[in-house]
Structures are given as C-alpha cells and as structure tokens.
A and B are shown apart, each in its own frame.
Chain A
C-alpha cells in the first residue's frame, strides 16, 4: 500500500499545504540570504 493510499483527505491536504509552505519558505529565505551575501560583498569586498 502506498503512502498516498494510507492517508485520509485531511492528511493529504495537510501534507500538500505544509510541503508547499516549507518549499516557499526555503526559497524565500534562501533568496534573502543570497541578497544579504551580495550586500556584504559590495560593502566589504
């Protein structure tokens, strides 16, 4: 039995939404981190 078949509707929705939030968070904060590094490089070389 696959994981998807084991999960109920609420669990599937929660897993998809939580996964999307985690992915978005990683992209957003990753981007902010890269921008910060660029600023530091401009300021201090």
Chain B
C-alpha cells in the first residue's frame, strides 16, 4: 500500500496548515504537550517496571504500583498520540522520508501491542503467581521498547 498520498494530504489538511502556519501553536500544543506527555509515559513505565524488577518502592505491592502506573500510562499515551498526529501533520512529507520516523512508529506500535495484549493481561492477577523470571523479562522488554520509542523520536529531530 502506497502511503505517500496520505502524507501529502496530511500536510495540506487543516491540522497540517495550523501547525505549519502558526509556530506558536506548533510549539505549545504540539511539542511542549508532546514532551510533557512523554515524560509522564516514561515515568509511569519506569515506576512500574523498576518495581517489577524489585528496584524501587519495595514496600508497596507491585500490583498496586503497576495498576496506578497503567492509568497514567493510558492518559499519557492518548495525549502523545493526539499531539503526535498534530506535529507530524505539519511536516508530514519530511516524516515520510525519515527512517527514524518509521523506526519510532514501529517501536510505538510494538509497544502498544505489547502493553495491551501481553503485559496487562499477564499482570492483571496476583504477581506472586507469575514466575519471577517472566516478570523480569517483561519489565526489561518494556523499558527497552519505550526507550527505543523515545530515542528514535529524539533522533528524528537530529536527522534529515
């Protein structure tokens, strides 16, 4: 499927026009909100995964930490996706030809599927019933994948 026409359309759409024309709107509603949501998402991921790895908050049950962190993860993800679409629309054609944009989108897709199809179903019950090695593997994979999303996202800004 050829995606270039969609990216060309996105840049000429209302969102693309706003982002392209009004730098202040792009910087505040796009970049600032996107970066703050990234910080919340990164924080929720690190808190949950470092607790699962038994590094922090050892006196709080990991079920509570993971559930609370997941609530904020969902809020942050929603904000990231909406502000990300707005930001990408303004520079859609440049994004289309950027390898790191596609690396980030791939990592983001894998991350979302991993969280909602693998990690949450696994952690829904009592964590003591889960093999410790599996919990550690899931926590390390989770940190790695969201690190990749953040790193490739920042790399977009330094490439092309």
Enumerate chain A interface residues (CB-CB to B < 8 A): 3, 6-7, 10-11, 13-15, 17-19, 21-22, 25, 28-29
Contact = CB atoms under 8 A, between A and B. Distances in A.
Interface residues of B, number: 19
Contact of B118 (A3, A18, A25): A18
A17 B134 contact: no
Contacts of B148: 25, 28-29
Contact of A10 (B121, B137, B141): B121
A13 B145 CA distance: 17
Interface in B103-160: 103, 110, 114, 118-119, 121-122, 130-131, 133-134, 137-138, 140-142, 144-145, 148
Interface string B32-63: 00000000000000000000000000000000
B144 A11 contact: no
A29 B145 CA distance: 11
B115 to A, nearest CB: 11
Interface of B: 103, 110, 114, 118-119, 121-122, 130-131, 133-134, 137-138, 140-142, 144-145, 148
Lowest 10 CB-CB distances: which A-B pairs, in order?
A18-B141, A18-B137, A21-B141, A25-B144, A14-B122, A11-B134, A18-B138, A15-B134, A17-B118, A10-B122
A3 B131 contact: yes
Contacts of A22: 137, 140-141, 144
A19 B134 CA distance: 9
If over half of B's interface residues share one DSSP class (helix, strand or loop), that class is named, otherwise mixed; here it is helix
A19 B118 contact: no
A17 B118 CA distance: 8
Contacts of B131: 3, 6-7, 11
Contact of A21 (B122, B134, B145): B145
29 contacts: A3-B131, A3-B133, A10-B122, A11-B130, A11-B131, A11-B134, A14-B118, A14-B122, A14-B134, A15-B133, A15-B137, A17-B114, A18-B118, A18-B137, A18-B140, A18-B141, A18-B142, A19-B137, A21-B114, A21-B141, A22-B140, A22-B141, A22-B144, A25-B141, A25-B144, A25-B148, A28-B103, A28-B148, A29-B148
